[in-house]
Each structure stands twice: as C-alpha cells, then as structure tokens.
Amino acid sequence: MDIIKVSAHSRSTAVAGAIAGIVRQHKHAEVQAIGAGAVNQAIKATAIARGYLELDGINICCIPFFTEIQIEDQERTAIKLVVEPR
C-alpha cells in the first residue's frame, strides 16, 4: 500500500476520497505531510474522510507521529498519520 503524500496545495476533498477508499479496501491508510500547510490539509482531509466513512458504518481514528524521510539527499521530518477503523 502506498503512502498518501499531502502538500499545502492538495485538495482536502480529493485526499479525503483517497483515504476513504484505501481504508475501505485495506482497513488502514497512511498519510504523510511536511510543513504546517500540508499538515493542515492532511488533518482536514482526515476529518472529511471520517464523514465519508461514517455513511458506511466505519468509524476511524487517526494516530499521528513523526518520521524521518530522505528528500534530495536531505533528511526531513514529516508528520505521518495512521488512519484505521476503531
């Protein structure tokens, strides 16, 4: 399963649809964001996805944590959100 990468310019509804689809299919989704704007969009998308999944009787929770990733030979700190059913 791929990690959903979110930027500050990502459409929160599109990301929410991706989260909902992956949770329906795999029962687990991972969302990654770097920077305040990207984290904001990721959290908004998770909240919207919760509404989408609620219609299917699926209640999700979000577990945030820090992770280190490599971008162009530089180590960056990202926020990773693990989204899974309760």
pLDDT in tens, 17-64: 999 999 999 999 999 999 999 999 999 999 999 999 999 999 999 999
Average the pLDDT over 61-76 and give the result. 94
pLDDT of residue 45: 98
Residues near 53 by beta carbon (within 8 Å), at least 6 away in sequence? 20, 23, 24, 59, 60
Is the separation of the CB atoms in 22 and 1 below 8 Å? yes
Q: SS in 3 state form for 30-82? A: EEEECCHHHHHHHHHHHHHHHHHHHCCCCCEEEEEEEEEEEECCEEEEEEEEE
For residue 75, give its domain range: 4-85
What is the CATH number for 23? 3.30.110.20
Domain count, the chain: 1
Q: Label residue 2 by pLDDT band (50, 70, 90).
A: confident
pLDDT of residue 75: 95
